[in-house]
Amino acid sequence: MAFSQSIGKAQTPAVCQFCEESTEIKWKCINCELFLCQLCCSKIHSKSKASMEHEIINLQDVETDNFATSMRKVDLDNMECTKHIKQKCFFYCNKCSEPACSECVVETHKLHDFKAIGEVYKDIISEMKKLNDTFESNIQIFRNKKDKLQKMLSDGDTNFQETKEIILQTEKELKERISKHAKDFVQKLEARWKSSENMIKTELSTMKKNEDELETRKNNLNQALQSHQAADIFSTSKILDKPLPKYSTRKINHNKAKFIPRYNQGIIGSWMFGELCTIPKMELIDTYPTNVEDLTNILLSIDNSSAIIGSYKSKKLQKIKIENHNIKVEKEFQIAVIDMTLTNNEGILVSSGESDLKQYTKEGQLMTFKSFSPLKTLGVHFTKHDQIIVGLTESFPVVTSSSKDSIRRLVIMNQAGDIHHTIEYDSDNTRMLTYPYKISSGNNILVVVDIINKKWEGKIVKVDYGGHLYWTYNGCQSIISKPFCPRDVAITSSDMIIVTDDGSHAIHVISSYGENIMCKDLKSLGIELPWSLSIDKNEVLWIGCRKLGTDKSKILRVKLI
């Protein structure tokens, strides 16, 4: 039809087609196909009963959505039946999903369910616009996911390349003697990254495919909405119920690698060349408030449903039940707790800075296990070899500036309290420890938190049961500029050493060779002043914090990913 043609500037007449005088043409009657001036449009054309309901558009709106809508409305009012010549469509057959004229009603669509064509038209337009909005929001979701995957891919590839360069640089410095081990590390690194890279690329490809599909469908929909033909709307409506692409629920966790070079003389092997570590990620799982000022210790039950916690400032040892984001105190003793450890008979050994090492029995009694008088007990630890290790000093509070007569040692004894041997000096007869505050053990090694001054700064010391000193860790000043203030230590099943740092609100992850793998600022997880530390069977960290301001201390669960 003539009125469905596009209106260009070249088609606009020089004067108003109604009064044939005015050159200020601003309007177009779609039904009459007349170009009108302002006066004729408002004073004459719109007043006539015959043209009162005609569709009038401003020439400035040509090629806009409003224009297309007006054109379709007129086209709808004049839409001819495709089966009956010169018959207009007034109805819409719900069963056949198509427009129908009066002859169609009594012939092709007899006894079918009908609606007014204008009503159905409005419903379809509304549905198409809603779907268009859905396309927009879903496309944005796919774009966001694609961007995240692209960044993950980029960061992972950058990390891969940088780590590979460190490995290859170390290979160059050690030359031919260790070239074989360098290649082995590159292969291990590549195997780790390629697995993640392939998953990321697969997800990225899926996101791109889904985005392209939605873009195509959106473009088709927009073309229909901009069409001047009402029939295009009905033909497009038949594919509106096509399902949207599904979002991927696959979670990709890619941990960056870290290569730690090590230069040593002697036997050549991969462990002499360096160490390839995976940098863990941390995720806060839950927080439990307590009623004590500081948490010096946490001992968990096998199923993590209960625990024993200790506080030095509040002078409390509590048996607690953990449920519904809260803890319930089931039993309490008045005793200042410096350190405690769980034995294999379910008893708990408690050090309080006194000469007597106490035992909290499974029957709920607190009694003396062994006296070290006149020495004072500090850290205490029960090993998987059923040995008890206790840190001892000549006085408490500890005077960190030790003298020749000072005693700062570890004693190793059996479950009956019989001392097998002590650890105090290294091979050069130099005192190794100042204040053996906390103790943990791994595969035939001991790791000790040693406090070195009145500011509670310290170090981590690794020794074997014979007293051989392996290494000393003094923090990671290159990453965290604040003094290193270790408070507790634990060892994972993969021999990573985890240390809480109260001074920097941080967690340090150390390799079994004493090299820093990661320093994590816990403030980003909402954790401050971390103190005690425990690791459950699922490799989840339980961190006890001391109070901040007027708040009481908290227990926090942090997942290592």
Residue 494: helix, strand or coil by DSSP?
coil
Q: How far apart are CA 409 and CA 400, in angstroms?
A: 13
Integer-rounded Cα radius of gyration of the chain: 39
Query: pTM of the entire structure?
Result: 0.67
| Preceding omega of 245 cis (within 30 degrees of 0) | no
- One domain, residues 323 and 242: no
Q: For residue 113, is it within any domain?
A: no
- One domain, residues 222 and 300: no
Mean pLDDT across the chain: 86
- One domain, residues 344 and 229: no
Q: Are 435 and 450 in contact (CB under 8 A)?
A: yes
- One domain, residues 308 and 453: yes
Position 469, amino acid: L
What is the per-residue pLDDT for 7?
A: 46
Q: How far apart are CA 14 and CA 121, in angstroms?
A: 36
Question: What's the rounded mean pLDDT across residues 319-338?
Answer: 92
Indicate if the pLDDT at residue 445 is higher than 80: yes
Indicate if the pLDDT at residue 4 is higher than 80: no
Q: For residue 50, give the CATH number of its domain.
A: 3.30.160
- One domain, residues 236 and 286: no
Measuring CA to CA, which residue among 316, 322, 321 is closest to residue 293?
A: 316
Return the minimum-mean-pLDDT range out of 169-173, 200-204, 479-483: 169-173
Q: How far apart are CA 70 and CA 65, in angstroms?
A: 9
Burial class (CB in 10 A: 0-12, 13-18, 19+), 195: exposed
Question: What's the rounded mean pLDDT across residues 459-488?
Answer: 91
Q: How many separate domains does the chain show?
A: 3
* Residue positions counted in the chain: 561
How many CB atoms neighbour CB 376 within 10 A? 22
Q: 191 — phi, psi (to 5°)?
A: -60, -40
Q: For residue 368, is it within any domain?
A: yes
57-66, 95-104, 113-122, 523-532 — most confident range: 523-532
Indicate if the pLDDT at residue 134 is higher than 50: yes
What is the per-residue pLDDT for 463?
A: 94
Rounded to 10 degrees, what is the CA torsion of 397, 402, 405, 407?
60
Q: How far apart are CA 93 and CA 83, in angstroms?
A: 14
- One domain, residues 249 and 308: no
- One domain, residues 227 and 293: no
* % of the chain surpassing 70 pLDDT: 94
Indicate if the pLDDT at residue 120 is higher than 60: yes
Position 210, amino acid: N
DSSP 482: S
Q: For residue 488, is it within any domain?
A: yes
Last residue of a domain, one of 45, 62, 79: 62
Indicate if the pLDDT at residue 3 is higher than 50: no
How many CB atoms neighbour CB 10 within 10 A? 5
Which residues partner with 560 through β-bridges? 282
Q: For residue 356, is it within any domain?
A: yes
- One domain, residues 435 and 365: yes
- One domain, residues 223 and 331: no
Question: What's the rounded mean pLDDT across residues 310-336?
Answer: 92
Q: Which domain holds residue 29?
A: 15-62
Indicate if the pLDDT at residue 374 is higher than 90: yes
Contacts of 50 by beta carbon, 8 Å cutoff, 6+ apart: none
Site of tokens 């960290």: 541
Q: What angle do CA 490, 491, 495 make, to 5 degrees?
A: 160
Last residue of a domain, one of 62, 89, 119: 62
How many CB atoms neighbour CB 2 within 10 A? 5
Instruction: Please report which confidence band the pLDDT of residue 9 belongs to, taking 50, 70 and 90 as the band edges.
Output: very low
- Over the stretch 352-367, which tens digit does the pLDDT of each residue have? 999 999 998 878 888 9
Six-digit token pair at 75? 């086209």
Question: What's the rounded mean pLDDT across residues 457-463?
Answer: 96
Pairing between strand 282-289 and 554-560?
antiparallel
- One domain, residues 520 and 410: yes
Indicate if the pLDDT at residue 248 is higher than 90: no
Q: Are 312 and 338 in contact (CB under 8 A)?
A: yes
- One domain, residues 222 and 311: no
Question: What's the rounded mean pLDDT across residues 519-535?
Answer: 93
Indicate if the pLDDT at residue 405 is higher than 70: yes
Q: Are 459 and 448 in contact (CB under 8 A)?
A: no
Last residue of a domain, one of 200, 234, 254: 254
Contacts of 390 by beta carbon, 8 Å cutoff, 6+ apart: 351, 357, 372, 377, 378, 379, 380, 381, 410, 411, 413
Which residues partner with 307 through β-bridges? 300, 320
Pairing between strand 554-560 and 339-342?
unpaired
- One domain, residues 248 and 294: no
